[in-house]
Amino acid sequence: EAGVVQSPRYKIIEKKQPVAFWCNPISGHNTLYWYRQNLGQGPELLIRYENEEAVDDSQLPKDRFSAERLKGVDSTLKIQPAELGDSAVYLCASSLVSGANNEQFFGPGTRLTVL
Amino acid sequence: QQQVKQSPQSLIVQKGGISIINCAYENTAFDYFPWYQQFPGKGPALLIAIRPDVSEKKEGRFTISFNKSAKQFSLHIMDSQPGDSATYFCAASKRGSARQLTFGSGTQLTVLP
């Protein structure tokens, strides 16, 4: 079974430029998460989807960040415009919300560098 | 507010030794405590998890010890191997909110051959 797929794996942009990350969750997983992981830190939740609905986006900086999950499968996270402080690894995870322990499966992440 | 505090930040252990990583939490509503292992360039992967109704859980060389009254839990890696070299994160979650995970800051473990 394929895991969570993310692309691109690496992205280098100049500040003020837009950037987008794509995530394909594990088939059948209806809950999708986007996390940001700063260097030397644990992942921090940005947004959580249940199917196509964003049910928790309280930590998403809405002035520059946006996300969508069309048809409740793939998801895209966008930053516009990017700032130096946005440099981090952006992780996507998915889970079966009905799972007993709701184990989250993480993708490899996209490492963003903003120059 | 850092709800899950993890220590040490880094740990160096000789092959065959015991690695111990500690975490403390503040929110008494947490009722699920997983540990994740992350290799460079990879996403975190679930290693082992515990619920507060037991004080210890063991899976192979990995053991979680849980102290509910102290609000602390720890990961013990017995007979540590160079392949265990990775970053380890403790986490906690509570019912509802699809069990949103709150992660610790991570421990970079290096096992010397």
For B27-72, what is each residue's pLDDT tens digit?
998 989 999 999 998 999 999 999 988 999 999 999 999 999 999 9
pLDDT in tens, chain A (115 residues): 689 999 999 999 999 999 999 999 999 998 999 999 999 899 999 999 988 999 888 889 989 999 999 888 999 999 999 999 999 999 999 998 755 567 899 999 999 999 9
Quick check: B101 and A48 CB within 8 A?
A: no
Do residues A80 and A102 touch, judged by C-beta distance below 8 A? no
Residues of B in contact with A102 (CB under 8 A): 93, 98-99
Angle (nearest 5°) at CA B47 between B108 and A107: 80
Quick check: A42 and B98 CB within 8 A?
A: no
Do residues A32 and A49 touch, judged by C-beta distance below 8 A? yes
The two tokens of residue B107 are 């421990």
Chain A residues whose C-beta is within 8 A of a chain B C-beta are 4, 31, 40-45, 48, 50, 55-56, 91, 93, 95, 97, 101-109
Give the rounded distance of the alpha carbon of A11 from its chain centre.
14
Peptide bond before A61: cis, by omega within 30 degrees of 0? no
